[in-house]
Amino acid sequence: MATVSTRVLGLPASLERTATERCLVMGVVNVTPDSFSDGGRWLDPDAAVRHGLELVADGADVVDVGGESTRPGAQRPSAEEELRRVLPVVRALAAEGVSVSIDTMRAGVAEAALGAGAVVLNDVSGGLADAGMADVAAASRAPFVVMHWRGPSQTMNALAHYDDVVTDVVTELRGRVDALVAAGVDVEQLVLDPGLGFAKDADHNWALLGRLDELHALGRPLLVGASRKRFLGSLLAGADGSPRPVEEREAATVATTVLAAQAGAWCVRVHEVRPSADAVRVVAASRAAAEPLGPGGSAS
């Protein structure tokens, strides 16, 4: 496996230490009416804040707050509506000492959320949806999660064509890294996400999960978000061919967490935190135990 630094510029010191020990866990708070997994459950700001605090209690290192669904076919809310949804939640969670990530494709929302206390930018478009995102990232010097993206939710399924999905994703992510660095973003701010489920079919997703080590060639930490996604539901389809319901995909999600952590992922993004928080600790303990013992019986 290629050597990949776990250092991410701007990451809170406590998270930076943890990231040297194990895979981080990012818990999801969708402040939306239409997200595929839990749309509407946390639309009320008070409910969203309570849920975020519950995720932290369950072991989340970061809480990712988003006000726009990115499920296939989703329609975008206005910028004003997205701000109305996320800012009270970001502000309240940050006031409780939570490390908050803002999940947005809009530079204005990102900038406002950082001002409200968010410490991580998470843009599923990798800065492609809003040219101003690079400027916000460069000015803030906050950690910036850059996902592989080929187009908006309404059209992304038609863009799932690759010669070799892993090679192509690596090439396209490298292009985004180069463009962002040219725009003034420090390369050490960047965390890369292969974008499972975004302009990718089930076979593409499995190839990326099975060959995550090849993405380490990019030299930046990886975030993996497989939680409850459709390719897991399809894998677990019933005898009638119907996909496993979203709420019954947690065991499969935890299996992807283990695969990602074993492959050296920096962070996993999940909806139900505790099982994955347990899983990354198991992987870390197993890896530590496998290290050769040095003089005196200590791990080298």
Q: Tell me the per-residue pLDDT of 152-168, one tens digit each, with 9 for 90 and over.
A: 877 788 889 999 999 99
% residues pLDDT > 70 (the chain):
94
Burial of 58 (0-12, 13-18, 19+ CB in 10 A): middle
- Taking residues 222-251, report their average pLDDT: 94
pLDDT of 188 higher than 90 = yes
Q: What is the pLDDT of residue 155?
A: 78
Q: Mean pLDDT for the chain?
A: 92
- Cα–Cα distance, 112 to 78 (Å, whole number): 15
User: Greater confidence, 1 or 122?
Assistant: 122
Q: What is the pLDDT of residue 300?
A: 45
Give catalytic residue positions.
229, 269
- Supply the pTM of this predicted model: 0.92
- Taking residues 117-137, report their average pLDDT: 97
pLDDT band at residue 298, thresholds of 50, 70 and 90? low
Q: What is the pLDDT of residue 293?
A: 66
Nearest to 190 by CA among 223, 152, 226: 223
Give the highest mean pLDDT range of 188-192, 242-246, 289-293. Answer: 188-192
Q: What is the pLDDT of residue 157?
A: 81
- Between strands 190-193 and 144-147, the pairing is parallel
Q: What is the pLDDT of residue 32?
A: 85
| CB neighbourhood size of 134 (10 A) | 23
Nearest to 119 by CA among 166, 64, 188, 167: 64
- Cα–Cα distance, 233 to 246 (Å, whole number): 7
For residue 26 the two structure tokens come to: 């990012």
pLDDT band at residue 81, thresholds of 50, 70 and 90? very high
pLDDT of 173 higher than 60 = yes
How far the first Cα of the chain sits from its last, in Å, is 19
* Helix, strand counts (H, E) of the chain: 11, 8
- For the chain, give percent helix, strand, coil, nearest 5: 45, 10, 40
Q: What does residue 147 show for φ and ψ, rounded to 5 degrees? A: -95, 150
- Taking residues 78-105, report their average pLDDT: 97
pLDDT band at residue 36, thresholds of 50, 70 and 90? low
Q: What is the pLDDT of residue 39?
A: 55
Least confident of 4-8, 65-69, 123-127: 4-8
- Taking residues 212-231, report their average pLDDT: 96
- Cα–Cα distance, 82 to 78 (Å, whole number): 6
